[in-house]
Amino acid sequence: MNMNRQSTRLLSLDLLRGLIIVLMALDHASHFIAQQHSSGEYWGGPLPVYADALAFLTRLVTHLAAPGFFFLMGTGMILLIEARRKIGWSKWAITRYFLIRGALLIALKFLIVNRAWEWSPGGWDLQTYIGVLFALGGAMIIGSGLVWLKPSQLLALTVVLVVGLALLVPPSSQWGQIRSIAVNDVFNLLFIYPGGTLELWSNYPILPWLEFMTFGLVFGYWLIADSARAFKRALYLGAALLVLFIVVHGLNGFGNIRPRTGSTWIDFFNVVKYPPSIAFALLTMGINLIILTVFAKVSERAWRWLQPLAIFGQAPLFFYILHLFVYAALGHLLTPHGTSIAAMYPYWLLGLLILFPLTWWYGRFKRRQPVTSIWRFF
């Protein structure tokens, strides 16, 4: 496979997407196979307690997934605009595409994805669950209008979202109050606060995750203007975000949502994800940007070894929906009573082996379809 430098840099987006998809699958294997998934890192309620370092690290690395998905979705939206304009699509046709795909993501969440969660071997008590596809779809619908802003305006909006939403999160002492009224306040559950009741639970309200997508839009514009400079910025910015994470989390004040409960290294990296604290955003996006830069510099020889990640990354929605049912089935068939985190890893790899040829086939099928095909929405 002969690749020029430009194509390698753009394929780095697929590689990062593939990596975070694989890490996401690890997180969900913890739920379906080991039945030891973290209870979540919420702005209120008890922080999760981990049995050992492996259990914590298994959870920590999967934190890269959700911010990465929103960031890459934003970048992909700008690249799609560039490609569609070259073949004559109008502004309205592009906007309509984003509106339809955003609505499709939300529909798939409630019609199909929630059925997979309900099939959890360890049981599932939630009646209606607001998960990541809902927030991705909602962010794309909002983004259908934001994509036409200038990069400087989008960057300013990103900063406003990061700081403004951090100010909106109430003290953790109000957790019980919010949970008791949340089911009657659907707007908050859908747009601002995670939480709720067994009848309606939201992990992914739209606005707290929108900041990652708006920054992705900015990066998309940077890529189009000068890809080499964009990746250099990504490296420097990623390093700066990690330094800021150490400062913000070390000060243990604003930007953490809730203070640390101990002084171990696990306590230091145990950040609030629901909603994403500033510390969480700094840590995860800093790492994602550095990994993206590394992928942009891979040689052709290294690319051959990394190509499976790109195959996963080129059909993310197909993989996402299918992997939930695959791991749920493996859990029912092979580990109906759960297992240890360490013993879960071979089953995680087994699931990836099952999913790889299916994802490879679907990726090839999708690329053969015309840009107006319904399959392009998946």
For the full predicted model, state whether its pTM sits above 0.85.
Answer: yes
**Token code pair at residue 6:** 């430009």
* 107 CB burial (10 A radius; 0-12, 13-18, 19+): middle
CA distances from 64 to 92, 175, 239, 309 (A): 33, 25, 15, 15
Instruction: Give how many domains the chain has, as a whole number.
Output: 1
**Token code pair at residue 81:** 């605009």
d(CA 265, CA 246): 12
Q: List helix spans (H) across the chain.
A: 5-29, 53-62, 65-86, 91-108, 114-118, 132-146, 151-168, 175-182, 186-191, 206-225, 227-251, 265-269, 278-296, 300-313, 316-334, 341-367
- Domain extent for 308: 5-377
DSSP 109-163: IIIIIHHHHHT-TT----SSEE-HHHHHHHHHHHHHHHTTS-HHHHHHHHHHHHH
Q: How many CB atoms neighbour CB 272 within 10 A?
A: 22
- Region of 334 please: left (phi>0), alpha (psi -120 to 50) or beta: alpha
Q: Strand pairing partners for 117?
A: none
Q: What is the residue-level pLDDT of the chain in tens, covering all 378 positions? A: 444 444 555 889 999 999 999 999 999 999 999 998 877 788 887 778 888 999 999 999 999 999 999 999 999 999 999 999 999 999 999 999 999 999 999 999 999 999 999 999 999 999 999 999 999 999 999 999 999 999 999 999 999 999 998 888 876 666 665 556 555 588 888 998 888 888 889 999 999 999 999 999 999 999 999 999 999 999 999 999 999 999 999 999 899 888 888 889 999 999 999 999 999 999 999 999 999 999 998 866 777 788 899 999 999 999 999 999 999 999 999 999 999 999 999 999 999 999 999 999 998 888 887 766 666 666
DSSP state of 14: H
Percent of the chain topping pLDDT 90: 74
Contacts of 329 (CB under 8 A, 6+ apart): none
